[in-house]
Structure 1
């Protein structure tokens, strides 16, 4: 029961990260490009730069939190320091002033995006790094990560549902709610309040762990720091997850940035229909992913489970786009098409989130594998490096999305149903093969991971004997 309580507060900590991730992946690029009118290449460049900076700050914060000595332990000082800046800068991000030039709007987006990402990381990395110390049991870690990703995804999904059903209201001026700027501004305020509440609840709920957490090992000079980083980051199982994460991050950034474009222009869904997808496909998919990850992990191990789930998601990727291009799908914006895409999104979310849960659980098991060699626990380094691999190149994925929409000729301030279908098909023809190649490489590198349950239990036994 005590572990379940800790799992709950640990899971709640991911709500802020989930909302931020969902906002940046699904809405922010579209908002600044299609609603405010910033050219696609400028919006995507600003978000790409901010994401790459975020990846670098991950490593700095991860290493620092591993070695911080304070009466609040290694992690909590950073978590508490993030509480006020995160909601303030998140509100400002969604409520930009009016600028005379695109360049000034570009600078504003860049600065606000960097600030939001940096302060969210200040909370997320130390908070996530508490996980391997909450439990060291092989299958319990999958259960714990399932709960964390459930809260993270649900935080983002609930805000998406509110966005489409409440905030993005069609008006006489904006008959298509996705293009209504007022909805995005309100979204910024509501999301900021929820993020703040989740961070406070998680921080306070895990406060009682502080006396029993591992104490940081001292590094007395630059040479020791360099040796620790080298020994830690060259762990073979970590390296393959890191490289796999690079390709997965590019694929995720690319796909997420184009998601609202496809839903709005390629499939022709209304604001209400996109909200329906979140309720009937995404939410059940998140719940299903938790069940899939735990059952497959127990029966065939984490690595094989991740490969199977990833392969299913990959194989299904081209299906709906091919049906639409060859005019075999239900008609544009119809309820039949909504049913087809809801089924597709349910499978995509179920398998994709299961992969994320399993890979994060695999990263937790690397902590003890590395500790055997380094004699130091480096949760912050591992989770921040995992975040680095995903974020640094998801920025590349976002930039790719901007290039694809520009190369295909998708106009700024376009209206659904008024775009040449050849342009939309070109976007899909660019997207599908690039996405599949990136995702295939990620699955290949995940397959090279070496730690199974026997290895992990052997590592724990060796550490306990010291």
Structure 2
């Protein structure tokens, strides 16, 4: 149990926590909205399913390339506004504006025109979003050097970020409501402008109010110019190689990949089980139950789970907190067998308080532990600190998990015999789908516990590293 008291100068002021949390709200709201809106490429704009799939997949490949580059650039930037904040400021503006412009499609245009318009704007949007997201993650790792305050900061930001997931599920309802919008296309265009404006304004807050590590005297930063492009690319790959050799960091990435990918792989199954098992394929009868299921999950995660996980981490350490929260989530997955009941729909909320410990504990703890790993990297490899590179590689693993989940989720649906053209599925299909919905995330969560069982960077070691770094830098 930790008896350490965080020093006043190592605490992040509430104003900065709120601003950092606003940035995380944007980090969740943009991809969440994008995922919902992508569905309407087919129904509102008449895009061919294959082309719509390309529009979902091709930009992700581009995004995987730009993240490490942006991390390297922000790690080595030298400006009077710091290493991260200028990019966050510009990236927030580009993200908000380009998201709104991205969805100004017209169903009367040719499919070819809409395809190339959307693909081009997607690439530009992802550049802007990478400029915002990667430095923001890096900034969070360096806002405090205290072991416990890092967890509190990440917990607070995750709570604010969950607000996005309370709202996003209802975009389906808003866009399809003929009383709000004459057509789905108009709904997508108008709602994208609102989302873009909100993200722009909230995204500027961390750039204005948050403060990172004092980098004025940081050594060994590379010059970022066109003339040094070739040598910088070499340094970038060396940095990625260095980061990849960090065993604690690789454990964090592996555990995240397992927990998140397992959850995401079956995330859509809840919708199918509610509609086709609980309500026999009657969409009207299913009504808003799927949206309420998602919203309640986000609310429980934000206001109950994350504070509890943060408390456990400060009492018994981050690794133990991860193991405890992941075990509780497995219990939640098992309870879904009884919770998804045709006789009593209200029981779908029963597993939520347990399941929510999965992702609620995951990102709160993993982001805090990644900040600890950044200290270890500075101790072993010297300056400059590589928060941007660590953040880029970590979230690359998250995005890889999302991409695989989309592919494997469809494969599982096919293997269990799900037929999207049938309103009523066979009893065998629904039984197999319900089993997969429970077994897959439970197994991946158990494997993640196994990966983290020997994670060695505990509070004692983290504080020893911090003391060594303070001596090395000549700080008081």
Q: What are the within-5 Å matches in structure 2 for residues 311-326 of structure 1?
A: 311-321=327-337
- 1:90 maps to what in 2? 99
Report which stretch shifted further, 231-240 or 268-277.
Answer: 268-277
- 2:262 maps to what in 1? 251
- 2:409 maps to what in 1? 401
Distance between the aligned counterparts of 1:68 and 1:98, measured in 2?
43
Distance between the aligned counterparts of 2:457 and 2:238, measured in 1?
23
TM-score normalised by L of structure 2: 0.81
Q: 1:309 touches 1:352 (CA, 8 Å); kept in 2? A: no
* 1:363 aligned onto 2:374: no
Of 368, 389, 393, the match for 1:381: 389
Q: What is the CA distance between 1:259 and its match in structure 2?
A: 5.2
Q: What is the CA distance between 1:295 and its match in structure 2?
A: 1.3
Q: What are the within-5 Å matches in structure 2 for residues 19-168 of structure 1?
A: 19-25=29-35, 27-33=36-42, 38=47, 43-98=52-107, 110-161=119-170, 163=171, 166-168=174-176
- Aligned Cα root-mean-square deviation (Å): 3.4
- 2:227 maps to what in 1? none
Q: What is the CA distance between 1:430 and its match in structure 2?
A: 5.0
Distance between the aligned counterparts of 1:94 and 1:425, measured in 2?
39
Give the 3-state SS of the residue equivalent to 1:69 in structure 2: coil
* 1:5 aligned onto 2:5: no
Distance between the aligned counterparts of 1:424 and 1:126, measured in 2?
44
- 2:199 maps to what in 1? 195
Q: What is the CA distance between 1:384 and its match in structure 2?
A: 0.9
Give the 3-state SS of the residue equivalent to 1:187 in structure 2: helix
Distance between the aligned counterparts of 1:303 and 1:11, measured in 2?
24
Distance between the aligned counterparts of 2:433 and 2:105, measured in 1?
29
Q: 1:44 touches 1:398 (CA, 8 Å); kept in 2? A: no
Higher relative contact order (CA 8 A, sep 6+): 1
Distance between the aligned counterparts of 1:188 and 1:172, measured in 2?
14
Give the 3-state SS of the residue equivalent to 1:130 in structure 2: helix
User: Per the alignment, do residues 52 and 132 of structure 1 end up closer, same or farther by CA in structure 2, a change over 3 Å counting?
Assistant: same
Q: What is the CA distance between 1:226 and its match in structure 2?
A: 4.4
Q: 1:69 touches 1:216 (CA, 8 Å); kept in 2? A: no
Q: What is the CA distance between 1:252 and its match in structure 2?
A: 4.1
Of 254, 275, 289, the match for 1:273: 289
- 1:433-460 per-residue CA deviation (whole Å, 9 max, x = no partner) reads 4444444333332333211100000000
TM-score normalised by L of structure 1: 0.83
Distance between the aligned counterparts of 2:264 and 2:306, measured in 1?
23
Q: What is the CA distance between 1:125 and its match in structure 2?
A: 1.2
- 1:238-293 per-residue CA deviation (whole Å, 9 max, x = no partner) reads 11112223333433442345554455555446453344445544313311122112
Of 197, 217, 220, the match for 2:220: 217
Q: Which residues of structure 1 form unaligned runs of 5+? A: none
Distance between the aligned counterparts of 1:103 and 1:432, measured in 2?
41
Distance between the aligned counterparts of 1:219 and 1:188, measured in 2?
39
- 1:376-402 per-residue CA deviation (whole Å, 9 max, x = no partner) reads 211101111110111023111112234
- 1:330 maps to what in 2? 342
User: Per the alignment, do residues 173 and 465 of structure 1 end up closer, same or farther by CA in structure 2, a change over 3 Å counting?
Assistant: closer
Of 15, 39, 52, the match for 2:25: 15
- 2:252 maps to what in 1? 241
Distance between the aligned counterparts of 2:248 and 2:451, measured in 1?
10
User: Per the alignment, do residues 228 and 138 of structure 1 end up closer, same or farther by CA in structure 2, a change over 3 Å counting?
Assistant: same
User: Per the alignment, do residues 443 and 57 of structure 1 end up closer, same or farther by CA in structure 2, a change over 3 Å counting?
Assistant: farther
Give the 3-state SS of the residue equivalent to 1:449 in structure 2: coil
Report which stretch shifted further, 112-121 or 78-87.
Answer: 112-121
Q: 2:379 touches 2:469 (CA, 8 Å); kept in 1? A: yes
Report which stretch shifted further, 145-154 or 398-407.
Answer: 398-407
Q: Which residues of structure 2 form unaligned runs of 5+? A: 1-10, 224-230, 280-284
- 1:34-53 per-residue CA deviation (whole Å, 9 max, x = no partner) reads 66565666544542333343
- 1:77-118 per-residue CA deviation (whole Å, 9 max, x = no partner) reads 211221332123322444433378877766555544444343
User: Per the alignment, do residues 347 and 188 of structure 1 end up closer, same or farther by CA in structure 2, a change over 3 Å counting?
Assistant: farther
Give the 3-state SS of the residue equivalent to 2:105 in structure 1: coil
Q: 1:16 touches 1:120 (CA, 8 Å); kept in 2? A: no
Q: 2:259 touches 2:448 (CA, 8 Å); kept in 1? A: yes
Q: What is the CA distance between 1:131 and its match in structure 2?
A: 1.7
Give the 3-state SS of the residue equivalent to 1:70 in structure 2: coil
Distance between the aligned counterparts of 1:88 and 1:365, measured in 2?
35
Give the 3-state SS of the residue equivalent to 2:266 in structure 1: helix
Distance between the aligned counterparts of 1:293 and 1:233, measured in 2?
28
- 1:208-242 per-residue CA deviation (whole Å, 9 max, x = no partner) reads 65866674632474665544433333111011112
Distance between the aligned counterparts of 1:102 and 1:280, measured in 2?
38
Q: What is the CA distance between 1:157 and its match in structure 2?
A: 1.9
Distance between the aligned counterparts of 1:307 and 1:365, measured in 2?
18
- 1:451 maps to what in 2? 457
